[in-house]
Amino acid sequence: MYVKAEDVLPEALLEEIQEYVQGVEIYIPKKPETKLGWGELNGTRRLIRRRNQEIVQRYNKGESIASLMESYHLSYDSIRKIISANRKE
């Protein structure tokens, strides 16, 4: 998101920054504690978690890995990792 520095920064701070750079865009990163993890903003992480829970439930009900591979378009190793990770939790 683009914001004009003069609209958000105190004049003294803006003048201090101008001692280092002028007329260029500067990216100011978020503080580490405010950063979201991968997929948290758009819901992808939640969808994958839900999908993985569904895979484990279907496997526990007796569905074969081959069937799960076909249903979810995942490799054998991916399905096994999902199942194994859930056993550890």
Q: What is the pLDDT of residue 88?
A: 57
pTM for the whole thing? 0.58
Q: What is the pLDDT of residue 31?
A: 82
Task: Taking residues 48-58, report their average pLDDT.
Answer: 95
Q: What is the pLDDT of residue 30?
A: 80
Q: What does 42-85 look like in DSSP terms, one character per residue?
A: TSHHHHHHHHHHHHHHHHHTT--HHHHHHHHT--HHHHHHHHHH
Q: What is the pLDDT of residue 89?
A: 53
User: What does the pLDDT look like over 10-30, one tens digit per residue?
Assistant: 999 999 999 999 989 888 888
